[in-house]
Amino acid sequence: MEKIWIAILLLSPLLGAMINGFRFRSQNYRLAGSIATICVGISFFASVALFSKLLGMPVESRFFNVSFFDWIQVGSLSVPMAFLVDPISIVMMLIITGVGSLIHLFSIGYMSHDERPAKYFSYLNFFIFNMLLLVMGENLLIMFIGWEGVGLCSYLLIGFWFTDKEKAAAGMKAFITNRIGDAGLLLGIFLLFLMVGSLSFSDINSAGLSEDTGWGMLTLALLALFVGATGKSAQIPLYVWLPDAMAGPTPVSALIHAATMVTAGIYMIVRLNPIFILSPNAMFVIALVGALTAFFAASMGILQWDIKKILAYSTVSQLGYMFLALGVGAFTAGIFHVMTHAFFKALMFLGSGSVIHAMHEEQDIRKMGGLKKYMPITHWTFVMGWLAIIGTPFLSGFFSKDEILWMSVHSPRGSWLLWLIGFITAGMTAFYMTRLMTLTFWGKSRVPKDVHPHESPISMTLPLIVLAVLSVFGGWLGVPHGVSSLLPGHIPHLLEVWFGDLIAPIPGLGKANYALEYSLMAMSVLLAAGSAFAAYKLYTEKESLLAAWVQKAKGLHNLVANKYFVDEFYHARIIRPCVEMSKALWEFVDVGFIDKITYIVSNAFQDLAKAVRMTQNGNLQRYALYILAGLFVSLSFVVWG
């Protein structure tokens, strides 16, 4: 029975992609959008059905491992087309299909003026299919198919308006950067296969690999896998593609570049958490890269003027938080933040889409302001997202982010340094998000005279409202033990209970010091409130003060506003040398050497053919002579041979 549900779950978006793909010339955005939304809706329904089935099962056997057929069977390598639905993957499936169907619904309104809506929805459905393959695959190879498939869809959708050269280039940048990460992922898969001899997650996780405290093979394999994660999940050093990916339609940014695809790296690490916990060095690298990414991306977000770019850097920064959580061993906190982030960041991306739609494709927040009175629903839902991300107590972001910060101190794998980076980042997050709110929705209107902002249609505001509700209440799935003991009813950490022993425990984790936990929590709330207030004041009343500060710290401002010149550095030190080397190889090796050899060989054959052609001249008597000669030769073999 669950086999049928899984088949429906996977094939429904694929079918939608095919239907819209075959009628890609259609301009009927309502029909195309409805087909796509219904297909994802069916998937969501199937996920809910599977979820309720899982709920009714005993804890120790709470999974479906369904194999459809043998896909590859070579020597000792056996790869079945198998799918795993367990408490970890079902959470991701619910996020993907649930948030995904809301974003599909939103897209109908957003793409109403577009020329190729059927193509757009076809890509979007295909993305959902691949993302489901990624999270449901029972072995690394099926996950890898999904991994590549979402990369392809991301490329197609970033460059969806490919007539604009810059947007097409952004798509290629994303694709190539991801390819670098994928090379690392493949190496990691090879190394794991070498060590375990199987690609199945259950085999790898229960292979009984021994702990690797140094820099052995296991650490190497895990770091290679992490390189793949840095590509897909936009971490240092491969994060550069995500801000450029904002060239795509805004719902795409919400779905692919905030809620689902970019969390693939986190999902992969959580999937393999029993072996990641075995290598403290690999975990430390992950935590450090995550913390640094969170910090630098947040600082870059402060000085951006494009509404989507701010959200993009915010996404990179929040992904950094998730990796910080994974690095200190708090896998549950990582997935928890994936979930709450999916809610509030998808909400804010869709909200920014609603704003951009209303402003006739204007993305510069300097030309906005005072939009509150024109778009009340967008504004109020956006406020919910804002409150959630800056960590307002009892909203979703508060629970997940503070759990990460707390674990980065509490876990024996963490340290105060990691906490400090995360803590400062939380302050910066509150600053740039409040700056975004202030410049977009509050304060004086700087909207040009010829633009008349208006509230979006119901198909766009409905997803906003649903996501706002989820952003507010989504955090109650993971109330920390410290807080829940204070509350009436004693709500447990539902997510932790739900994952059970699928998540490996951190070795040497001490008992929680609730007093410390509360004070850290209070500190981050105070910091967030303080920097939010500062941002509000600076961008409404004290703009002259702000300008003076910028004057004073000109060098630093220049550095951050230009994104630390990372793109320029990559261009000068990596891309240019690559291009130069390719040019040299082309001119000297290819043209001068390889081409020449092939010409010599082909000329020789041509000359030979010319010579042989002379014998076939149509002269019958000449032919007869050849026959005679042949006869003579064969007879001479018989007689003298």
Partner 1 sequence: MLSSIGEIGLNHYLILSAALFCIGMFGVLMRKNALVILMSIELMLNAVNISFVAFSRYQNNLDGFVMVFFVMAVAAAEAAVGLALAVAIFKRFREINIRFFEHLKG
406 touches 480 (CB < 8 A): yes
How many alpha carbons lie under 13 Å from residue 489 in its C-beta half-sphere?
4
CA 276/CA 197 separation, integer angstroms: 18
Rounded to a whole number of angstroms, the distance between the first and last alpha carbons of the chain is 77
Site for partner 1 in 42-71 (CB under 8 A): none
Mark the segment that binds partner 1 (CB under 8 A) among 87-95, 188-196, 505-513, 618-626.
618-626
CB atoms within 10 A of CB 383: 15
Q: What count of other Cβ atoms lies within 10 Å of the Cβ of residue 469?
A: 14
C-beta of residue 440 within 8 angstroms of C-beta of residue 369: yes
Q: Name which of 449 and 613 has its Cβ closer to partner 1.
A: 613
Give the closest residue to 460 by CA, choosing from 212, 6, 97, 110. Answer: 110
77, 572, 584, 628: which one contacts partner 1 (CB under 8 A)?
Answer: 628
Interface positions, 285-304, toward partner 1 (CB under 8 A) = none
Q: Would you count residue 545 as binding partner 1 (CB under 8 A)?
A: no
User: Given the rule CB under 8 A, which of 246-254, 266-274, 468-476, 619-627 is the region that contacts partner 1?
Assistant: 619-627
* Euclidean distance between CA atoms 258 and 319, whole angstroms: 9
Q: Closest separation between CB of residue 36 and partner 1, Å?
A: 58
Instruction: Output 28 or 619, the one with its CB closest to partner 1.
Output: 619
Asked if 324 and 337 touch (Cβ cutoff 8 Å), the reply is no
612 in contact with partner 1 (CB under 8 A) = no
- 555 in contact with partner 1 (CB under 8 A): no
DSSP conformational letter for 450? T
Residue type, 616: Q
Q: What proportions of the chain, in percent to the nearest 5, are helix, strand and coil?
A: 75, 5, 20
Residues 6 or more apart in contact with residue 256 via CB below 8 angstroms: 127, 150, 153, 154, 157, 245, 248, 262
State yes or no: residue 624 binds partner 1 (CB under 8 A). Answer: yes
**How far is residue 188's CA from residue 265's CA, in Å, rounded to a whole number?**
13
Taking the least distance from each CB to partner 1, the nearer of 545 and 624 is 624
Stretch that binds partner 1, among 141-149, 221-229, 407-415, 621-629 (CB under 8 A): 621-629
Asked if 625 is part of the footprint of partner 1 (rule: CB under 8 A), the reply reads yes
For residue 618, the minimal CB distance to partner 1 (Å) is 3
Closest to partner 1 by CB, 360 vs 622, is 622
Our CB check for partner 1 shows the closer of 1 and 627 to be 627
Task: State which residue, 1 or 638, has the beta carbon closest to partner 1.
Answer: 638
Is residue 61 classed exposed, middle or buried when 0-12, 13-18 and 19+ CB atoms within 10 A define those classes?
exposed
The answer to the question of residue 76 lying near partner 1 (CB under 8 A) is no
Select 486 or 631, whichever has its Cβ closest to partner 1: 631
- Of the pair 594, 624, the CB lying nearest partner 1 is at 624
Q: Under the criterion CB under 8 A, does residue 615 sit at the interface with partner 1?
A: no
Instruction: Give Cα 374 to chain centroid, integer Å.
Output: 33
Q: Is 47 exposed, middle or buried (0-12, 13-18, 19+ CB in 10 A)?
A: buried
Q: Which is nearer to partner 1, 73 or 617 (CB)?
A: 617
Decide: residue 52, CB within 10 A, 0-12 exposed, 13-18 middle, 19+ buried.
exposed
x-or-dash pattern for partner 1, window 561-600, by CB under 8 A? ----------------------------------------
Closer residue to partner 1, CB minimum distance, 519 or 616: 616
Q: Contacting partner 1 (CB under 8 A), which of 1, 597, 620, 639? A: 620
Is the bond leading into 237 cis (omega within 30 degrees of zero)? yes
* Cβ 187 to partner 1 shortest distance, Å: 58
Name which position in 208, 621, 633, 638 contacts partner 1 (CB under 8 A): 621
Do the beta carbons of residue 82 and residue 139 sit within 8 Å? yes
- Cβ proximity to partner 1: between 547 and 624 the closer is 624
Is 617 a binding residue for partner 1 by CB under 8 A? The answer is yes
- Looking at 89-97, 260-268, 482-490, 611-619, which segment touches partner 1 (CB under 8 A)? 611-619
Distance CA 399, CA 393 (A): 8
Interface pick for partner 1 out of 56, 508, 555, 618 (rule CB under 8 A): 618
Residues 444-503 binding partner 1 (CB under 8 A) are none
DSSP letters spanning 475-516: GGGG--HHHHTTSTT----HHHHHHGGGSPPPTT-----HHH
- Shortest Cβ 624–partner 1 spacing (Å): 6
How many residues touch partner 1 under the rule CB under 8 A: the total is 8
Distance CA 435, CA 366 (A): 11
- Region near partner 1 per CB under 8 A, out of 119-127, 502-510, 520-528, 613-621: 613-621
CA distance 385 to 433: 10
> What minimum distance in Å lies between the beta carbon of 607 and partner 1?
22
Complex with partner 1: residue 489 or 618, whichever CB lies closer: 618
Of residues 7-36, which lie at the interface with partner 1 (CB under 8 A)? none
Min. distance of Cβ 625 from partner 1 in angstroms?
6
Output the smallest distance, CB 606 to partner 1, in A: 21
Q: Toward partner 1, which CB reaches closer, 213 or 615?
A: 615
Q: What is the secondary structure of 157-191 as a DSSP string?
A: HHTTTTTSHHHHHHHHHHHHHHHHHHHHHHHHHHH
Q: Does 619 bind partner 1 (CB under 8 A)?
A: yes
At 80 the three-state DSSP class reads strand
Minimum Å distance from CB 622 to partner 1? 9
In angstroms, the CA 464 to CA 350 distance is 7
Q: Of 258-266, 344-352, 392-400, 620-628, which segment contacts partner 1 by CB under 8 A?
A: 620-628
Smallest separation, CB 612 to partner 1 (Å): 16
Residue ranges in contact with partner 1 by CB under 8 A: 617-621, 624-625, 628
